[in-house]
Structure 1
Amino acid sequence: MTPIDMPRRSGSYELDPSQYGWTLPDGWTLWADTPDGIPVELRGTYVIDGVHVTFTAEPRWITNGPLSVSLDITPYDTESANRALDSDGITLQVLRSVPLGEARRVITEWGDRIRERFYPELLPPPIPKHITSDYDYAVTAMVYMQLTHMGERRPLQAMAEAAGINRETMSARLRRARQLGLLITYGAGKPGGELTDKAIALLNPSDERK
């Protein structure tokens, strides 16, 4: 399995990460689509048995995994194309070898770095490690709501990792926030929710916190 470079996509151009003092992992690149040169896409490409596997992620979406995965036998790489054709195209073995775990690690690490530098407004507020008041539950509910609205598919896991606790503890805190009337749920089995007026009042910095 070998990381490779990809040709430019129409309407976008590759950025040089060294201008930010960054060195991305092999096979990973940053892309922009506007003159200001702000990264809008993180892309990683590998070759597995002649098949090009490309992961893409957008730092404006707070996710721990790729938003798309493509597998292609590309004619511009004759050697890889010949190997893939010799093996009868994209095989089950290739699909099993897709390095999704590695991609998720890269996207998690570099997505946070990109957001911290270019999209600080997208960073969620700090999640309390210890709950001492209803205000802490309100903050927890707010972060959960923001992550689900932004498309995060594993909000409890992401929150648990950020707070340095396990997922079960974070799940219990969300249940308690609902019991306290801070979070309105969409229904059984449906992720996400909305803050209640009580939660909004607690989060208002002009209110006295007790």
Structure 2
Amino acid sequence: MVDGEQVSPGVVCLGSGRRQERGGPEDAYALYDVHGWTVVVAGSLGAPWDGPDEINVRFTEIEAVDSVVDSDGITGEILRAIPLGDARKRIKAIKDEWRREQGHHDAVAARVETDEEWARFAREYVALVKEGQRHPIRHMAAMTGISRNTLSARVRRARERGFLEGPAGKPADRLGARAAEILREEAAQ
């Protein structure tokens, strides 16, 4: 993914990065020229999804005025030509970098295999619940880039393995004895 590359016929990525507009939350964006129209595809950095949540299409190229006049404004063809797949990849890469900068990459491992990793995962989950997160899995997904389905399965497995405890049907609100013991041992080292 290189800025200035042709994504498809008539569509060029002009750049991507992070921005903050009008005092709002910071977001990741990708900027395209789509058949003479400037298109900004953006996604909020703090959103619990990786894809875009905003598309802005505007005319800016005076050289392409004839094609815009011929089309009589934004058409379905222009909208279909917006490279959402490419934008999603660029936005996800920017969000992953932002998450690492925020220190969220170490909190939850991409893969959880050892008992120590399960205990650390349980600790992070319980910390979110205790700080009042109403949707801890959704929040953890937003901060780590790990899918909600994967995290939900991990919580279920952590309960089964004795790393998490709590009322059935509610978020686990405390560490299981197994996790507590492993974390105590880690802290003592």
TM-score normalised by the chain length of structure 1: 0.54
Question: In the TM superposition, what whole-angstrom CA distance separates every residue of 1:12-70 from its partner, at most 9, and x where no partner exists?
Answer: xxxxxxxxxxxxxxx2243357xxxxx93332211222332211234344642223222
Matched to 1:149, the amino acid is H
Q: Distance in 1 between matches of 2:136 and 2:112?
A: 20
Matched to 1:108, the amino acid is K
Count of equivalent residues? 165
Q: Distance in 2 between matches of 1:42 and 1:207?
A: 39
Whether 1:113 and 2:97 are equivalent positions in the alignment is yes
Q: Distance in 1 between matches of 2:139 and 2:167?
A: 13
Q: Distance in 1 between matches of 2:151 and 2:140?
A: 19
* Structure 2 gap ranges (5+): 1-10, 129-134
Q: Distance in 1 between matches of 2:94 and 2:122?
A: 24
Q: Distance in 2 between matches of 1:84 and 1:131?
A: 55
Q: 1:73 aligns with which of 46, 58, 61?
A: 58
Partner of 2:12: 2
SS of alignment partner, residue 207 of structure 1: helix
1:197-208 correspondence runs (5 A): 197-199=174-176, 202=179, 207-208=184-185
Whether 1:125 and 2:107 are equivalent positions in the alignment is yes
Partner of 1:14: none
Partner of 2:132: none
- Preserved CA contact (<8 Å) 2:37 2:61: no
* Structure 1 gap ranges (5+): 5-26, 34-38, 161-166, 188-192
SS of alignment partner, residue 184 of structure 2: coil
Q: 1:31 aligns with which of 19, 34, 55?
A: 19
SS of alignment partner, residue 139 of structure 1: helix
SS of alignment partner, residue 33 of structure 2: strand
Partner of 2:173: 196
Aligned-residue offset at 1:141:
8.6
Shift in CA distance, 186/115, structure 1 to aligned 2, threshold 3 Å: same
Partner of 2:43: 57
SS of alignment partner, residue 28 of structure 1: strand
Partner of 1:175: 156
Q: RMSD across aligned C-alpha pairs, in angstroms?
A: 4.5
Partner of 2:7: none
Matched to 1:3, the amino acid is C
Partner of 2:138: 148
SS of alignment partner, residue 175 of structure 2: helix
Larger RCO of the pair (alpha carbons < 8 Å, separation 6+)? 2
- Preserved CA contact (<8 Å) 1:65 1:107: yes
Identity %: 25
Q: 2:121 aligns with which of 139, 150, 155?
A: 139
